[in-house]
Amino acid sequence: MPGSPAPEAAPVHLAVYDTFADWETGHTTAFLARGGYRVRTVGPTLTPVTSIGGLRVAPDLTLDELAPEDASLLILVGADRWDTGDDLAPFAEKARAFLDAGVPVAAICGATAGLARAGLLDDRAHTSAAAPYLAATGYRGAARYVETDAVTDRGLVTAGPTEPVAFAREVLGLLGVFEGELLDAWYRLFHDSDPAAYEVLAAADGDE
């Protein structure tokens, strides 16, 4: 059903850190993997981290080891720690390096606040949990805030914590896992439980 990346496509990197919101990227990483992308986890160190839901994850590599040229995408997931200090600021700086290199970044929930503090939302259309949440960071991009489920602008995907399916839709479309009618059908199936959307996807799967 999903499309396939070029054989030489670099991995997608999922940032993981203590208190990361494990529900926010499940659709995204599952269908990236089914679409042929290798998903690797990147942490502050190689020490296992624990999600909000109590899942322990051992990172595949450290943030210092991650280079934009070795990745197809960097995913920054929400976490309590985005709002309780500067521990995760290096992940926002890595996002800057990715965007400067022309490699896309996808941020959801609290990670959008981290990017706002780093100035990365000042000149891009974006969204988050709510406009006042980002305004509290003191950033200068409030005029570019969009009241919608998810936004993609110049290689940067943003979404709020209640929109993991819309977040996945933007990422899957950006990397070409689904396109056009199939992308719309995928979203309608997983977001709206639309049986007609299942028929579209099943028909496409049968044509392969």
| CB contact at 8 A, 92 and 117 | yes
Exposure string for 121-159, b = 16+ CB within 10 A, e = fewer = beebbbbbbeeebbeebebebeebbeeebbbbeebbbbb
- pLDDT of res. 8: 75
Q: Which residue has the tokens 């290689």?
A: 155
**What DSSP state is assigned to residue 129?**
S
d(CA 138, CA 121) in angstroms, rounded, equals: 11
Which CATH class for the 12-177 domain? Answer: alpha beta
What does the pLDDT look like over 82-105, one tens digit per residue?
A: 999 999 999 999 999 999 999 999
- pLDDT of res. 124: 98
Catalytic residue (choose from 12, 49, 107, 109): 109
* Parts of the chain with a pLDDT under 50: none
| CB contact at 8 A, 101 and 72 | no
d(CA 91, CA 131) in angstroms, rounded, equals: 22
Q: What is the 3-state secondary structure (H, E, C) of 2-62?
A: CCCCCCCCCCEEEECCCCECCCCCHHHHHHHHHCCCCEEEEECCCCCEECCCCCEECCCEE
- pLDDT of res. 133: 97
Domain ranges of the chain: 12-177, 179-208
Q: How many CA atoms lie within 13 A of 131 on its CB side?
A: 10
Q: Are strands 39-43 and 12-15 parallel, antiparallel or unpaired?
A: parallel
Residue 137 is which amino acid?
T
Three-state secondary-structure class, residue 157 = strand
Q: Is 109 a catalytic residue?
A: yes
- pLDDT of res. 3: 67
| CB contact at 8 A, 42 and 14 | yes
- pLDDT of res. 150: 98
The reported pTM is 0.95
- pLDDT of res. 203: 93
What does the pLDDT look like over 139-175, one tens digit per residue?
A: 999 999 999 999 999 999 999 999 999 999 999 999 9
| CB contact at 8 A, 41 and 14 | yes
